[in-house]
Structure 1
Amino acid sequence: MSTTTAPRPVPGFDDLERDWLRARGSVKWHRPGPRVLPAWVADMDFPVPAAVTAALRDAVDRRDLGYPDWPDGSPLRTAFARRMADRYGWAAAAERVREQTDLIQCLQLVLHLATGPGDAVAVQTPNYPPFLATLSTMGRRAVPVPMQDTDTGWHMDLAALDAAVARKHCKVLVLVNPHNPTGRVLTHGELEEIAAIARRHDLLVISDEIHAELTYAPHRHIPFASLSPDAARRTVTLTSATKAFNLAAIRCALTHYGPDRLLALRDAQPPDLYGTVSPLGVVATQAAWREGDAWQRELLTVLDRNRRRVHQVLHAQLPQVRHHLPEATYLAWIDTRPLGLGEPPVERVLKTGNVLLDGGSPFGPDADGFLRLNFATSHAVLEDVLAGVTQALAPPRNAS
């Protein structure tokens, strides 16, 4: 590990006890076992905002766990519309918002209503493995649109997207922006070109924007549905407070339906067929959006520091690997193929460095040889993760 001055510790973010992390039952630290450092699944290690804890505790202390009185939907519908207006200037309609348990269910329900077996769905690759697995399990034809690794970072090949949509007769584009796993944030110009392709080919756009609030300046998230009236009419937006506030287990996500027909189809379903959101999930999301912004600003300073540290160490100690500073998310996407390892890098890092990362074929075609590293942890844990990764991937000392 290269020598560096330790940063000023940030209380609540850098004082994590590893015994506490391992004692929790969540999969990130529990599954790998006591000898392995986990930097794989996309959970942050940090405690949730105090405002969220207080709101949940208050609901439990009041024994407020009965059936909620929400004749017109949960209060999150209005809260979502307000947050979109305040953050992005998007006049999202509260009456078009519906609650689900998580983002994967949101995607599956929209695909179920809007497509049938055999229908073609364009999707960026690499991509979030459960999204790709959903397309396979549901019998939809995934049409990969590979992200391009350039000297200036990861980019969508928009000409390839246009050609693939036309050639494969796609009905849907699943757009992940900010992008998991590359961390790319699409610009207004790129989004306008995608909107033109969607209009030209009459595509439904399912826009996963769950990482929107984890975007680093000067990059700026732009909701796809905010681009134009046409984009609004053909876009279904998926989001949740869970990524930006570390609330995965509350099981609460939101879908904003742009197409009238699709919203009518959704509302014509039996009301409980796809489950209902937990009132505690609503309480936690409200508290995060209402009182968690100061916590989130501090979070972003820590994540910004960590993403730069990952980039610095990789550049200094593993100069052959390719890595671009992510523009959003807390995930680093690392190309180890120039190392010529001869074995999957996830296995090498686990076996030699005692660090568990994600990567490889579950992220799509041509993802073998890549690693995804979650840097949402304390400075001390991140240093040990990076030490294990560089130890595992460094060439032998006698190598020429």
Structure 2
Amino acid sequence: MSAASSQAVPGFDDLDRAWLRARPSVKWHRPAPQVLPAWVADMDFPVPPAVVTALHDTIDRRDLGYPDWPDGSPLRAAFARRMAERYGWAASADRVREQTDLIQCLQLILHLSTDKGDAVAIQTPNYPPFLATLATMGRRAVPIPMKDTDAGWRIDFAALDTAVRDAACKVLVLVNPHNPTGRVLTREELEEIAAIAQRHDLLVISDEIHAELTYSPHQHVPFASLSPEAARRTVTLTSATKAFNLAAIRCAVTHYGPDRLLRLRDMQPPDLYGAISPLGVVATEAAWRDGAAWQRDLLTVLDRNRRRVSEVLEARLPRLRCHAPEATYLAWIDTQPLGLGDTPTERVLKNGGVMLDGGTSFGPEAAAFLRLNFATSQAILEDILTGVTHALEAEAGP
């Protein structure tokens, strides 16, 4: 499929670059004016109309007072409904608690369940704020490297089993769908992990924020839905922010499986970790309730774009390794076969005018990798790919 032959999608492929650059958000505001941004995991698309309408309705009522939520926000029931409808998981609304974002969720769970020096297993490469959280909190990260195979990125289950045993891990941080590789773990793979977690009595913190950005025929399976045993040891973290482009709304949810952990959480001072804004609840509810049509168009665009990234890289730089992601809007590109060293992001910025993420902030094995955000219009993506391939071709030589 070529860019020329694919049909434009209104609302997604008619982005105005002046509008994008005028926004104060970090993605387009931080790079120099001549640089195209494809780095931080924000999409370029406007917020779903249903969310805009819901927020306007709230402001038009001129009521931003304290919400009457004696038993928690409406998100608790909304989350449970969404899990049942999309995945057949009977999550309990009573076990849901609200936080401002996923990183805060992770930090709170680690604070309640571990002490300094405790070992925490985590896939690598991984989302840099998660790795930074472990370092800042003094938890001992036990890397579980993902293996790059001809069939895509895979977990080495024997290595996982050995690592958590030898390091006496208390916790496994599971990112599925995985950022940055885009892997969606199958039910069989998740069951292998569940068996290891049970064998070593691990708490599983399952980040599932990219779940709704999964491409057919792949299917997301919530880790806690595998079995009652898995549910009892799993804390599930998610949000509408990635799947509906609402990063700054500052609203996330945590589903607590372990009884003891939920009791500990509820024993904390109620405002110690802040409180979510009612506007965040309004936006999330509107996205989940009325955003299906917008999300269908979004997935059409992202699926097309991920294929276009693969098509261009295979044609222009066949020595690169880049598996088409099974979820997310992020391509994870290995430049090692080109022999460019450990600063490919700097080279692409300097020689291609494109700002990408990548490097050792994703883990020690990630020095030569690039992460490319393809959640943008057809035309902008073509310019991004032109810049990237031009820079890498120039560096790689014949």
Deviation at 1:331, TM superposition (A): 0.2
Deviations, residues 271-290 of structure 1 (Å, cap 9, x unaligned)? 00000010000000000000
1:93 and 2:96 are equivalent in the alignment: no
Pairing of 1:299-318 with structure 2 (within 5 A): 299-318=298-317
Q: Which amino acid aligns with 2:8?
A: P
Structure 2 letter corresponding to 1:39: A
Change (3 A) 1:3 1:115: closer
Q: 1:3 to 1:63 in 2, by over 3 A?
A: closer
The corresponding residue for 1:254 is 253
Aligned equivalent of 1:264: 263
Q: CA deviation at 1:13?
A: 0.1
Q: Which residue of 2 aligns with 1:373?
A: 372
Deviation of residue 3 (structure 1)? 7.3
AA aligned opposite 2:173: V
Question: What is aligned with 1:127?
Answer: 126
Letter in 1 for 2:83: M
Find the aligned partners of 2:32 and 2:50 in 1 and give their Cα distance. Answer: 31
- 1:33 CA displacement: 2.0
Q: Distance in 1 between matches of 2:48 and 2:293?
A: 9
Question: Could you tell me how far 1:87 is from its partner in structure 2?
Answer: 0.2
Deviation at 1:179, TM superposition (A): 0.1
Query: Aligned residue for 2:33?
Result: 34
| Contact 2:342–2:367 under 8 Å retained in 1 | no
The question of 1:70 aligning with 2:42 is answered no
Letter in 2 for 1:156: I
Q: 1:43 aligns to what?
A: 42
Please report the RMSD computed on the Cα atoms of aligned residues, expressed in angstroms: 1.1
Match of 1:8 in 2: 7
Deviations 1:200-259 (A, max 9, x none): 000000000000000000000000000001100000000000000000010000000000
CA contact (8 A) 2:39 2:355 kept: yes
Q: Report the equivalent of 1:355.
A: 354
What's the secondary structure of 2:213's corresponding residue?
Answer: coil
Amino acid at match of 2:382: E
- C-alpha distance in 1, partners of 2:373/2:4? 22
Alignment length, in residue pairs?
Answer: 398
In 1, are the aligned partners of 2:123 and 2:174 still within 8 Å (CA)?
yes
Alignment-derived partner of residue 146 in structure 1: 145
Q: Which residue of 1 aligns with 2:344?
A: 345
Q: Write the letter of the residue equivalent to 1:240.
A: S
Change (3 A) 1:396 1:96: closer
* CA distance in structure 2 between the aligned counterparts of 1:148 and 1:16, rounded to whole angstroms: 37
Distance 1:343 1:134, change over 3 A: closer
Task: Please tell me the residue identity of whatever aligns with 1:317.
Answer: R
Matches of 1:373 and 1:117, distance apart in 2: 34
Secondary structure (helix, strand or coil) at the match of 2:390 reads helix
* Matches of 2:167 and 2:110, distance apart in 1: 17
Measure the CA separation in 2 of the matches of 1:260 and 1:90. 18
**Once the 2 structures are TM-superposed, how far is the Cα of residue 341 of structure 1 from its aligned partner?**
1.3
Aligned-residue sequence identity (percent) comes to 78
What is residue 226 of structure 1 aligned with on the other side?
A: 225
Q: 1:178-197 residue pairs with structure 2 within 5 A?
A: 178-197=177-196
Normalized against structure 2, the TM-score is what?
0.99
Find the aligned partners of 1:126 and 1:369 in 2 and give their Cα distance: 12
Secondary structure of 1:322's aligned partner:
coil
Give the Å deviation of 1:4. Answer: 5.2
Mapping 1:208-227, distance limit 5 Å: 208-227=207-226
TM-score (norm: length of structure 1)? 0.98
Q: Deviations over 1:255-275 (max 9, x none)?
A: 000000000000000000000
Q: For residues 166-185 of structure 1, what are the structure 2 equivalents within 5 Å?
A: 166-185=165-184
For residue 210 of structure 1, give the secondary structure of its aligned residue in structure 2.
Answer: coil
Which amino acid in the other structure matches residue 236 of structure 2?
A: T
Structure 1: where are the runs of 5+ without partners? Answer: none
Contact 2:2-2:308 at 8 Å conserved across structures: no
Q: For 1:54 and 1:31, how far apart are their aligned partners in 2?
A: 29
Task: Verify: 1:335 aligned to 2:327, yes or no.
Answer: no
Query: Does residue 197 of structure 2 align to residue 198 of structure 1?
Result: yes
Structure 1 residue 7, shift from structure 2 partner: 2.1
Per the TM alignment, residue 342 of structure 1 is displaced from its structure 2 partner at its CA by: 3.5
SS of 2:52's partner is helix
CA contact (8 A) 2:340 2:395 kept: no
Given residue 286 of structure 2, which amino acid in structure 1 is its aligned partner? A
**SS of the residue 1:146 aligns to:** strand
List alignment gaps of at least 5 residues for structure 2: none
Aligned amino acid, residue 256 of structure 2: Y
Contact 2:210 2:243 in 1 (8 A): yes
Contact kept in structure 1, 2:144 and 2:163, CA below 8 Å: yes
Per the alignment, do residues 271 and 4 of structure 1 end up closer, same or farther by CA in structure 2, a change over 3 Å counting?
closer
Give the distance between the partners of 1:159 and 1:325, measured in 2 at CA. 26
